[in-house]
Each structure stands twice: as structure tokens, then as C-alpha cells.
């Protein structure tokens, strides 16, 4: 979820501490929170929240002001749309059938004979 000009944008994946922290901050763009405040409002420990914030900060996804972190107001909508997109992709993947009725058994081995 890095800048759109990045060649290798950082992807925040659902189910990770970074995703939980970013989701919380996106709900409150411009508001500044410390790791203990974020931990209190999420199911993360203070250490997990602090580690996630460090990663997000290093990847320029959140800003830091002294001991508090925030999403700039002008990037709030962008991050909200990106998280919604990631959520939709995860739901699509989770809803896919576990079996593939069209799969060919041993397809890997057949590739050698083509």
C-alpha cells in the first residue's frame, strides 16, 4: 500500500498486526494515537502495536509526531479505498471452492511433456 509510484508497493494483508493498526488509524485520519492507545482499542498488545507502527512508519504509511502516530487527513480516503480493495480480494479468495473440478491431476508433470 505504498505510494502509487512505488515499483514494489507494501501490501498490508488482512489478519496482520499492521493491517489492524492501519485499519484503526484510517478510521480516524489526522488524529494522533500512541501505541498503548491503539492497543487499548484493538486486540493487540502494546508491543505488537508498537512493532506494527514501526513497520508502517518505515514504509511511509503512517506519520509520527513525537510518540504518536497518525494517517494524514489527505491520505485517509486513499487508504480506506485500498483497505476495502484488499478486504474484497480476501473475501473472494476465502469464498473460492477448495476443490477444483476442472483441475487435471499431476498437471505439474504433464508440463514437461508439452
| Confidence check: pLDDT of 3 > 80 | no
Q: How far apart are the C-alpha atoms of 107 and 114, rounded to whole Å?
A: 11
pLDDT of residue 4: 43
Model-level pTM? Answer: 0.69
Q: pLDDT (tens digit, 9 = 90+) per residue, 23-35?
A: 999 999 999 999 9
pLDDT of residue 85: 75
CATH assignment of the domain containing 48: 1.10.10.10
Q: pLDDT (tens digit, 9 = 90+) per residue, 62-86?
A: 999 988 999 999 988 888 888 777 7
Give me the domain span that covers residue 16.
1-78
Share the mean pLDDT of the chain.
79
| Confidence check: pLDDT of 39 > 70 | yes
Whether residue 93 lies inside any domain: the answer is no
**What's 6-60 look like in SS3?**
CCCCCCCCCCCHHHHHHHHHHCCCCCCECHHHHHHHCCCCHHHHHHHHHHHHHCC
Whether residue 52 lies inside any domain: the answer is yes
Domain count, the chain: 1
Whether residue 106 lies inside any domain: the answer is no
Amino acid at each position: 500500500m505504498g505510494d502509487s509510484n512505488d515499483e514494489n508497493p507494501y501490501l498490508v494483508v488482512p489478519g496482520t498486526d499492521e493491517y489492524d493498526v492501519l485499519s484503526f488509524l484510517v478510521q480516524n485520519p489526522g488524529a494522533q494515537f500512541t501505541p498503548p492507545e491503539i492497543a487499548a482499542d484493538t486486540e493487540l498488545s502494546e508491543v505488537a502495536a508498537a512493532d506494527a507502527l514501526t513497520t508502517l512508519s518505515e514504509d511511509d504509511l503512517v506519520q509520527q509526531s513525537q510518540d504518536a502516530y497518525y494517517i494524514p487527513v489527505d491520505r485517509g480516503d486513499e487508504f480506506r479505498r485500498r483497505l476495502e480493495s484488499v478486504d474484497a480480494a480476501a473475501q473472494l479468495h476465502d469464498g473460492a471452492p477448495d476443490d477444483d473440478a476442472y483441475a487435471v491431476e499431476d498437471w505439474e508433470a504433464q508440463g514437461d511433456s508439452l
